[in-house]
Each structure stands twice: as structure tokens, then as C-alpha cells.
Chains A and B, each alone.
Chain A
Amino acid sequence: MNLTRRAFTAGLGAAGATSLLPRAARAARETELNILCWEGYNTDDVLGPFRDLHPGATVRAESGTSDPDMINKLRAGEVNVWDLINLNQPWARGQLLPEGLIKPLNKERFLPYFEKMAPEFSDPAYPLAFSPEGELIGMPQRYGPFSFVVNTDKISKEMAEDEGWKIFLDPAMAGRYGILTYDNWNLIHMCLTGDLNPFEPLDEAGFAEFDEVAKTLFKGAKLMTDDLVAMNTALINGEIDAYFTGGTYTASPARLDGLTNVRAVTPKSGPIGGKGGVVWIELTSVVNNPQGSPLAEDFLEFVQKPEICKAVGFAEGTYNPVAQMGDPEVFKLWDADELDAIQWDTLEEEMANSVEYDVVADYDKLMELYTAARRS
């Protein structure tokens, strides 16, 4: 074949243009699955067996660094890319569903799985997995109490639980604690520290109290970071004795390494109906992708299998309880050290002392006060 340079260049241009065509114009996405998730679902232990079940399929998973980061991707037009998104519970109901970024699940297919879950999720079926209209919008799996973390060699678990959030306002604690800057969590925890309910609208006095608490906490903090490894390191080497915002999710990696003096604490009392702890529960939802992959729901069903539940709960990085541990078949896969890493001995009690992580009512105003206090 005699190819002139001009023809070659034209061909090259045409090839380039084709790659710009929307995916819809090419193949349907029956053999493709893209998952946007917190770390864990993207490990080989989870994806490998699924790939074996679907040998022809291309399965990709990418982990995000924060809930809002992942939501930004969908907002920026990546609804066309992702099939599943895995986030903490309030975002699905509060932001993703109202904005049409996710779509409801097949109830007939997934409701039966709730029956095997731990009592907190099965009786009744976990309410935040449903839209106000009663549609199923995501499946729960990993969860964990999330309040603060102490070094029990320096501050006893009992004392921390009894004093609760007020411990951070104690002048003697100034310079002895860090703040893990998961900003949306900090807002909730700072409200609780000021005896405010973050999930209800606040009045002017409430904002003033929040502002005061935020300024006091930032002033007394020895360090701030959004890196849980750096924070645990500072706790272990004695740079700090506690850190504000943290839970089994952040303490478990250190605990599994044998440093069981790193302990997540849930306050015994607080301003929300007497409770002061908060618990997060992840929901995995199907993205409202116009070319959604049929494999999305298959994957959601696949991660309910006992060995996959374990792989998700014990993925590299952080270790967390999963709702499916209510099923004895699933539970028996955890050994004693692993159960200790996730503080299984007190989990039920901690859950009982915690309220659900929810949409913060005055998020914008509190965020404004929070960032201003952080600057000062």
C-alpha cells in the first residue's frame, strides 16, 4: 500500500477525533465496571475474585481521599464514568440522591441481605439506606464509632469516656492533643464539645458557642493533620496524648501492630438525647450513569459473601467492623487479634452511646466559622 504523508496525517487526525467521541457511541458497557470507593474495595482481595467470576470484564476501582472529593468527581461530569460509589451515610441521602447522581437499588434483590446483618442494621433495616420516599439507595457494610482517640497509658479509657469531649477544653490538655482534620467530622465533634446538636439548626448563641469551642481547640492543638498515620505516630511517640476526631477506623492499624494503648473512645454522655458519640456507616450506591454497567448490582451482591466481607473489613490500611458480622458464617473469619484491633469487646456499647453521622444542618455557616477559627 502506498501511503502518502498527507493521507497518513489525515488518518491520524481521524483516529484522534474518534477517540473524542462519547463512550455511548462505542460499545455498551456490559463488560466494564468502575468503582469509586474508600480504600478497601479497590484491593486485589476484593476485586480479584470478582474478576475471576467475570473473566471478560474490565473491573476498575479507585479510592478517594474524602467523601466530598469523590462527590466532586461525579459533579464534574464523571457520572458517565463510575458505576458504583461508596461513601459515608449522610452524603447519599443528603446530596447524591437529591441531585440525581445516584439511583435506587432493586429492593427485591437486596432487602433479604439486611436480615443477616448485625441487629443495628437488620431490625429495622438500616433507615439511612433508604430515601425519605422509602427507596433503597445504598447497601451498608463497613461502619465504626468515630469520636476521639487516646493513649491509654496517659489517659485511661474510663476517664476519657466519663469526661467525654470536655477533656479537650481542659486547660491542662493544651498542647497535648492533635486535631485530625477531617473537616466535616471536626464540625460535628466541635458542636458536641460545645453541648450543641450539629444535626439540628443552631441559633446565634449556638454559633457563638461553636466559635468559642473551635478557637479554644485550635489554639490548644499541638498539631493538625489529615493523615491518620502521622497522627498515630505522634500519639505513639508521646508527642501527644490524644487526638480530636478519630475512631476504630484510625486506631485499628496501630492496634493491629500490637500498640493496643491506642484506643478509640466513645463518650458516655453528650448533648444529643444524652449521647455524645458518633458512628459512621458506609453506603455503596449505584451511580446514575446513563450508560450504567449491569455489573454494578452484581458487585454489590458479591461483596455480601462472607470471605469478601472479611476482605473489605480487613483491607490494607484500616480495619473496620462490617454489618454482615451479624451472620455467624462471616464472624468466624475474624481471629482474636483482629477483633481486638477493631475493639470488638466494646463495640456494642460504643454503638449504643453513639448517634448516626448525619447531614450537619448549618454546615455552611459552621464551615465558615471553622475555617476562620483555624486561620486565627
Chain B
Amino acid sequence: MQRRDRQLGALYALPLGVFLALAFLAPILLVAAFSTMPAKVFSLANLPDFSAYYTVLTQGYWKSVMWSLGMALAATAILFVICWPLAYGMAKVFGRFSLVLTIGVVMTLFVSENIRLFGWVLTLMKGGLIEGYVRHWTGAGFDGLLYNVPIIVFGLCYVYLPFMLFPLAQGIAMVPDDARQAAYDLGATRWQILREIELPLAMPGILVGSLLTFVLAAGAIAETKLLGGQAVIVIAEEVETAFTYGQNWPLGAALAMVLIAIVGGIAIWGIGKADLDRMMGRR
């Protein structure tokens, strides 16, 4: 009986499995195959020589990788600090109001990222909403606030806030109030409760939120282009350049594979740590 169950399970999973293989795995395998091709070829009917990886290693592309990962890490850390109190409120304090908050945050996702970022350009630029008003009121203007690294990190935080907030709220909701109260009764300080009760128990939410934010931010490109004025070149930009102006598909594919490997490695490690089953309430 159990064997039959398992067979049926495999059978039921087959359509989805085929779909995933075609829609998700096949493109990645194609990119992986292209990354092994000699430079500047446009078909897979060539002998692989892995020269694109040599180019990636020898031409300083690590700088772009580091910028992407560094800014993604910074954005993730900042978002965690910002979102923790907010998520705490949504899970434990606000009650009905958290629905309003949820709708408010989700609504921003209905507007294209580029348009929202361009709104920030108009706000932050010289003669824009902020500098324009300051100059009008005080008579003294200053240079615009755009085109630097902190503003890119700000853009990342702004765009990816929902991806940290909601998993975090979910994670905090998993912390039983009893546990907190018991700790209070036993004389724990607020700091101890945060460190020893809330953070460990909310860890699945923290991990999922951090992973989502980090992975998305590491591949982000619009924030650097629009807000940052390409003050630094991120890896996604290098991939784009290689595929378009560079007309070097293998190099673009190799750069993409490097990013996929790094981010994928971190994601798999993180998911291994997070107990997703528990988070979904199945255990």
C-alpha cells in the first residue's frame, strides 16, 4: 500500500516536475552550456573551452561581484533592523491595523519598479522636491543627493522592503506569547528575551526574509542605473553589457553562472537552516 502511495505521488508530481524541468532548469542549463563556449560564438555547436571563465577571473569582474554582494548585504542588514519593529507590530500589536499596513505595502508593488525609482530621482535630484524646497526656503541649495553608493543601498531597501517585512512578520507570529511571558516571570530582561527567545524562535522568518532580500538585491540593476548614475557597476550590469554591446554571449553566460553559483550556494545553505515546514505550520 505504501509503495503504491509513493508511486501515485510520483505520478502526480510528474506534470509539475516536467514543467519545472522545462521552464526553470532548461534555461539555466542552456546558460551553463553557453558559458563554456569559446568567446563570441552564437551557437552551442562548438567545442567548449571555458575561456569565458578565464576572462571572468582575469579581468577584474570580482569588483562588480563584490559591489553587488556588498550592497545586497548592506540592504539586507538595514532592512532587517527597519522591518523588525514594524513586523513585530504587525504580528503582535497592531491587530486590525496590520491589514491596512499590508495593503499599503503591497499596493506599492502594483507600480513598476522603474517608475517608483524615477519618482525618487525627481525627489532627490538637484532642483527636485527636497533640494528645490530647501533652496526656496533658505536660499542656499546643495548638490543633488543622487549618484552615489548610499543612495543605491537606499533604493534597494526601498524596493525590497516587502520581501523582508512579510516573512519577518510571519516568523515573529510563530513566537508563542507564553514563552515570552514565562521568560519575563523568570526575570529575563528585554534584551535577553529578544536574544534568547524571540530571535531564535523567529529565525525561519528571519532567514527567509533575508534570503529573499539578499538574492533579489544581488541581481538588482535598476537602482544602480537610475539612482546611482552607475556610480559603481554591478554584476547584473556586466551581464547585460556582455550580452548586448559586448555581443559576447559566453562571457555574459559565465558571469551569470558565477552569480547563480554564489547566490544559489548561499540560498541553499540558508534554506537548509530554515525549517520551512514549521513555518508553514505543518509541525
Contact = CB atoms under 8 A, between A and B. Distances in A.
A332 to B, nearest CB: 38
Nearest to B232: A375
B84 interface: no
Given A237-B126, A371-B59, 19 more contacts: A72-B244, A184-B245, A223-B229, A224-B229, A225-B225, A225-B226, A225-B229, A230-B118, A230-B121, A233-B125, A234-B125, A237-B144, A239-B126, A239-B146, A367-B245, A371-B233, A371-B241, A371-B246, A374-B233
A372 B143 contact: no
B123 interface: no
Contacts of A68: 244-245, 247
A227 B114 CA distance: 12
Interface of A: 66, 68-69, 71-72, 75, 178, 181, 183-184, 222-227, 230, 233-234, 237-239, 364, 367-368, 371-372, 374-376
A372 B248 CA distance: 15
B128 A75 contact: no
B195 interface: no
A376 B60 CA distance: 8
Contacts of B225: 225-227
Contacts of A75: 42
5 contacts: A225-B226, A230-B121, A371-B241, A375-B60, A375-B233
B51 interface: no
B243 interface: yes
Interface of B: 39-40, 42, 59-61, 63-64, 118, 121, 125-128, 143-144, 146-147, 225-226, 229-231, 233, 238, 241, 243-248
Given A238-B127, A239-B144, A376-B63, A225 B238 contact: no
A375 B61 contact: yes
Contacts of B127: 237-239
Contacts of A230: 118, 121, 226
Contacts of B247: 68, 71-72
A106 to B, nearest CB: 29
A147 B245 CA distance: 18
Contacts of B147: 222-223
Nearest to A233: B125
A364 B64 CA distance: 20
A318 B64 CA distance: 33
Contact of A227 (B146, B226, B244, B245): B226
A288 to B, nearest CB: 15
Contacts of B146: 223, 239
Nearest to A224: B230
Instruction: Among B39, B127, B229, find the residue whose CB has the most chain A CB atoms closer than 10 A.
Output: B229
A60 to B, nearest CB: 23
B227 to A, nearest CB: 10
A375 B230 contact: no
Nearest to A178: B229
Contacts of B246: 183, 367, 371
B142 to A, nearest CB: 11
Contacts of B238: 371, 375
